[in-house]
Structure 1
Amino acid sequence: MEKYDIYLYGMTLVTTMNLLAGEYPEADTYSEIKESYVLPGGETGSCAVVLSALGCTVKLDGNFQGLRTKEVLEKYLVEKFGIDMSGVYFDETFDGVQDMVLIGTNTRTCFGRFGAYFSNERKRWSKPDSKDIENCEVVGLDPFFMEQSEVVAYCCHELGKKYVTIDCKYDTVIHKYSEVNIVSNEFIRSNYHERDVEELFREYTENTEGLVIFTFGSRDIMFGRKNQPIKRMKPYKVNVQSTLGAGDSFKAGAIYGVLKKMSDEKIVQFAAATAATVCSRFPLALYPPDLRTINKLINK
């Protein structure tokens, strides 16, 4: 079986993205659409694009693909970026997972059918193959696929493979065994809105040996490990074209940092610079980040 740098398990979908000429409009008003694209998206799809653009070999798995997603994903992920999707199941009774995003000057608003997708009695995502994990260097894991995501975490732990995850609670198996857990402000607001952030951060670090990162958009990033003081870093400033894919790109940057055995500080720097570079371009799948631009931003 072929070896590769990164194995990604998570959500890959097709996004219809509309870049607005200004801010997101109020109800019952008009807004001009500046640019529109139908391209790969999702936490894992976008992450795969970034890692491939940075020179990594990538294999991905996760949700089933369907009649309305297969062609776009094969055109871009497989043919353009050389990403291995050979293990992804094609379900011809299914349209595939899609969403639509409206992108304002400083906002992005997502519309989809994720509630229906996850509540459906038929679970349209694959069981992870332990051989895929065994044959990679580092894993990127989305926590969304319930027990199957946990299987990836257990398998990584047993095989001694490091993995980077996102937005999972501090009392979960996925957090416990992670090398890096990146927790977004959106997730914190939704799940821990009454908690003191520093107290919550310490709760996270107490429940893992890995690196914990809290992100807050343009506000300071918090990061650290168990029994260490909380560290902070200001995000890099760029001329923002779109924030779509910023979090997925931050995850990709962290995975790259783990692959290259960077220090904690360097991982956060590289992840933040990767996300900032993506924010300065649109759309991600047509204008992915490159190492020269990322390193230039870090050394600015």
Structure 2
Amino acid sequence: MTKLSKVDLVGVGLNATDTVIPLSKYPPRGSKIEYRNATVLPGGQVASTVVACQQWGLRTRYVGKLGDDEAARLHREAFLQAGVEMKLITVAGGASPQSLILVDEEGERTVLCRRDDQLILQPGELEREWIVNARVLHLDGYDTAAATVASRWARDAGIPVIADLDEIYPGVEELLANIDYLIASRDFPCRLMAETDLEEALRRMQRRYGCLLTAATLGEDGVLAWNGKRLHHTPAYHVPVVDTTGAGDIFHAGFIYGLLQDWSLERRLDFACAAAALNCMAVGARGGIKSVEAVENLMATGSRHHATYCARTKTVH
């Protein structure tokens, strides 16, 4: 048996085939609206993060499940083209995950998802070597039981674990105990901790689960992070937005890239914000992945949204 190569990043989680539909305005309930085109593109939280890191020169591996349909072929081709090592489990007769993404005139997206239960990644389908032969593990927690096993293997091997969570899945508490860098969607911390104050929710998450960092991505308001000592608010960059699909995925890629370069937390968050902003300037979850040089150029020359974190009200303005 050929020994598995060491990679910088292994990702375990969702892939999805996105059908992106631009709309002149978001349709009110009960209405009928015309659309002019629809674009089918590869996406998915972890899959897109892995592809971005590969394009920036990291060695990557993706672990996930696909059906045996046209969508699966699209993903395989995208991974091959990017140079991502694949550990894919194929389900005969299974339907690969699909997303319909409605993008309004301001670039904001609304996602409709379809997932086949046959494609839930099971713990027994993972191989430990896939996980521990990496410098970093990235998870989205959707296949919670499998993600928990992978995170435990990584923790035992001294490998940092990054998580991109937006839903409170059954069993997620056990997974959270093995996360080093928890970077969640805007409302996840408050929902998880039953807390209305985002700052306090981040503090409580960090204390309860022992994470090195807890953070929430805030769209055009940037990111708010707590490292156990102080709060970090990094404003988003001001760019002409075409489509916000995948912004969070590319943010996580930027954070992981910076972590593996041993950058300061401030620089990691800044690079991640800039990478996410550039991705919003094109259609699709991976449409605006730019070079490291382009991201750093935006960091050096770009303007930011006038968002400041208000310590008194604990809100972003």
TM-score, normalised relative to structure 2: 0.84
**Secondary structure, in 3 states, of the residue corresponding to 2:70?**
coil
1:1-300 superposed matches below 5 A = 1-20=4-23, 22-33=24-35, 35-78=37-80, 80-85=81-86, 87-106=87-106, 107-114=108-115, 117=116, 120=117, 122=118, 124-126=120-122, 127-167=125-165, 172-188=173-189, 191=192, 194-206=195-207, 207-226=209-228, 228-300=229-301
Give the Cα–Cα distance (whole angstroms) in 2 for the partners of residues 32 and 123 of structure 1.
33
The CA deviation at 1:3 is 2.0
Unaligned runs of 5+ in 1: none
| CA distance 1:56–1:102, change in 2 (3 Å) | same
Aligned partners of 1:165 and 1:174 also within 8 Å: no
Matched positions, count: 291
Give the Cα–Cα distance (whole angstroms) in 1 for the partners of residues 232 and 61 of structure 2.
33
Give the Cα–Cα distance (whole angstroms) in 1 for the partners of residues 194 and 285 of structure 2.
31
**Secondary structure, in 3 states, of the residue corresponding to 1:88?**
strand
Give the Cα–Cα distance (whole angstroms) in 2 for the partners of residues 236 and 166 of structure 1.
21
CA displacement 1:236-273 (0-9 Å, x = unmatched): 11111110000111111111112111221111111111
Give the Cα–Cα distance (whole angstroms) in 1 for the partners of residues 175 and 268 of structure 2.
20
The CA deviation at 1:194 is 5.0
Give the Cα–Cα distance (whole angstroms) in 1 for the partners of residues 120 and 220 of structure 2.
35
| CA distance 1:250–1:16, change in 2 (3 Å) | same
Give the Cα–Cα distance (whole angstroms) in 2 for the partners of residues 270 and 298 of structure 1.
7
Give the Cα–Cα distance (whole angstroms) in 2 for the partners of residues 124 and 205 of structure 1.
28
**Secondary structure, in 3 states, of the residue corresponding to 1:277?**
helix
Aligned partners of 1:68 and 1:95 also within 8 Å: no
The CA deviation at 1:71 is 1.2
**Secondary structure, in 3 states, of the residue corresponding to 1:172?**
helix
Give the Cα–Cα distance (whole angstroms) in 2 for the partners of residues 260 and 178 of structure 1.
20
Give the Cα–Cα distance (whole angstroms) in 1 for the partners of residues 69 and 191 of structure 2.
33
Q: Sequence identity of aligned pairs in percent?
A: 23
| CA distance 1:34–1:260, change in 2 (3 Å) | farther
Give the Cα–Cα distance (whole angstroms) in 1 for the partners of residues 76 and 64 of structure 2.
15
Give the Cα–Cα distance (whole angstroms) in 2 for the partners of residues 109 and 102 of structure 1.
5
| CA distance 1:92–1:161, change in 2 (3 Å) | same
| CA distance 1:193–1:100, change in 2 (3 Å) | farther
The CA deviation at 1:102 is 0.9
Give the Cα–Cα distance (whole angstroms) in 2 for the partners of residues 220 and 75 of structure 1.
33
Aligned partners of 1:240 and 1:279 also within 8 Å: yes
Give the Cα–Cα distance (whole angstroms) in 2 for the partners of residues 199 and 269 of structure 1.
23
Give the Cα–Cα distance (whole angstroms) in 1 for the partners of residues 75 and 46 of structure 2.
12
The CA deviation at 1:36 is 2.4
CA displacement 1:186-225 (0-9 Å, x = unmatched): 4346545652212211101213241111121112521121
Give the Cα–Cα distance (whole angstroms) in 2 for the partners of residues 288 and 220 of structure 1.
18
Q: CA RMSD in A?
A: 2.3
Aligned partners of 2:193 and 2:205 also within 8 Å: no
Give the Cα–Cα distance (whole angstroms) in 1 for the partners of residues 285 and 218 of structure 2.
21
Match of 1:175, as an amino acid?
L
Aligned partners of 2:54 and 2:84 also within 8 Å: yes
**Where does structure 1 differ by over 6 angstroms across 4 or more consecutive aligned residues?**
none
